[in-house]
Amino acid sequence: MFWDWWQNLFVDMSSINFFNFSFLPRYGYAVIQGVEYTLILSVISVLLAVLPALMLAMMRISRHKTVRCLSGAYIAAFRSTPILVQLMIIYYGVFSVIRVPKFLIFGFIDSTRFIPGVVALALNSSAYVAEIFRAGILAVDSGQMEAARSLGLSQAQSMRLVILPQAVKNVLPALANEVITMVKESSVCMVLGMAEIMFTAQTIGGSTYISIGPYMLAAFIYFAITYPTSKVIERVERRMRRGDKQ
């Protein structure tokens, strides 16, 4: 008994299983679509988050306490609860009331799952992006606002013409990093059956009985997307900072 268990343990954990990618010839296409799905999902989520985040950031630095608190509450709520919980509440709560018409996006993405998923991720992301924007705005030297106001520009005109153009440049690297985070975080969407990388891995595992290989491949893919990208962003950021000093 014990010896059977002991030996099986090593058979199961053998590297053959970790790196068993024999499903690839058959499921390669599904994997590629999974990668596309993940990329589309995360990029669109962050893009959709930009405008609400800008609004939240402006509210966060408003003179009116109520406005500040509203925005603060939103940001706190979305940053202090798991994204999985938010996804479930939005999918089963909000989107049981709002019916999404069924159609295919880019020819392979099911709208009834994708749209609730993207909305949940975008709502989550806007809380994080709002903080990025707020930091970007506050990083602009206060003398810039004073100079603009002293010329007679209103608060809003100064924001739009002087502060935001400088803030946007400051936040681009952080925004790109948010996309990277979203590439990883969007894996929660597998629970809704959205055919992104993780869901694809799970499906392959289920139909081939190769349990670890698909997940190892998923891990490699996530790593191959996020690690080099974050290195590139780091370099761009360093170069931008050097440019500022001149």
Partner 1 sequence: MGTNNDYIIYVENIVKKYDNGRTVALDHCDLKINQGQVVAIIGSSGSGKSTMLRSLNLLEMPTSGKIFFKGTELTSKKIDVDSHRQKMGMVFQHFNLFPHMTVLENITMAPVILKIQTKQEAEKSAMKLLERVGLTEKANVYPNMLSGGQKQRIAIVRALAMEPEVMLFDEPTSALDPEMVGEVLDVMKELAADGMTMIVVTHEMGFAREVADEIVFMSEGRIIEKGTPKQIFENPKNQRTKNFIDKVL
* Minimal distance, residue 160 CB to partner 1, in Å: 9
End-to-end CA distance of the chain: 73
Q: Is 42 or 170 the residue whose CB approaches partner 1 more closely?
A: 170
* Minimal distance, residue 153 CB to partner 1, in Å: 6
**CA of 36: how far to CAs of 4, 57, 109, 116, in Å?**
43, 31, 10, 18
* Minimal distance, residue 156 CB to partner 1, in Å: 10
* Minimal distance, residue 168 CB to partner 1, in Å: 10
The radius of gyration of the chain's CA atoms, rounded to the nearest angstrom, is 23
DSSP one-letter code for 81: S
Question: At 109, phi and psi to the nearest 5?
Answer: -105, 125
Q: Is 154 or 211 the residue whose CB approaches partner 1 more closely?
A: 154
Q: Is 81 or 150 the residue whose CB approaches partner 1 more closely?
A: 150
Cα-to-chain-centroid distance, residue 131 = 15
Q: Is 164 or 183 the residue whose CB approaches partner 1 more closely?
A: 164
Is residue 41 within 8 Å of 117, Cβ to Cβ? Answer: yes
Cα gap 167→133, rounded to integer Å = 7
Q: Is 169 or 184 the residue whose CB approaches partner 1 more closely?
A: 169
Cα gap 74→76, rounded to integer Å = 5
* Minimal distance, residue 133 CB to partner 1, in Å: 17
Q: Which helix (H) or strand (E) holds 104?
A: strand 104-105
Cα gap 237→174, rounded to integer Å = 9
Q: Is 90 or 138 the residue whose CB approaches partner 1 more closely?
A: 138
Q: Among all chains, which residue has been given the structure tokens 């930091």?
A: 135
Q: What is the DSSP string of 188-236?
A: GGGGGT--SHHHHHHHHHHHH---SHHHHHHHHHHHHHHHHHHHHHHHH
Q: Is 80 or 246 the residue whose CB approaches partner 1 more closely?
A: 246
* Minimal distance, residue 142 CB to partner 1, in Å: 9
Is residue 131 within 8 Å of 75, Cβ to Cβ? Answer: yes
Binding site for partner 1 (CB under 8 A): 141, 143-144, 146-154, 157, 161-162, 165-166, 169, 246
Cα-to-chain-centroid distance, residue 67 = 26
